[in-house]
Amino acid sequence: MPDEPCPACNGTGLTEHEEHTVELDENGNQKPVVHRWTGACNTCHGSGQG
């Protein structure tokens, strides 16, 4: 049976990630910050196999 591509990343091994945090600005006030990056798929751990 052939390996199927990962349904979460369509076999690429990479997905877009998004993390929401609260950080301090230059005045010491809290502000919401969103960090986005492309990295290894959380479902297949970068293998691309489902």
pLDDT at 2: 55
- Kindly give the confidence (pLDDT) of every residue in the chain, 50 residues in length, as a single tens digit, with 9 standing for 90 and above: 457 999 999 999 999 999 999 999 999 999 999 999 999 999 999 999 98
**Dihedral (Cα; 28, 21, 15, 43), 10-degree rounding:** 150
pLDDT at 3: 76
SS3 43: coil
| Residue 5, token pair as written in the block | 């591509």
Contact 14, 41 (CB under 8 A): yes
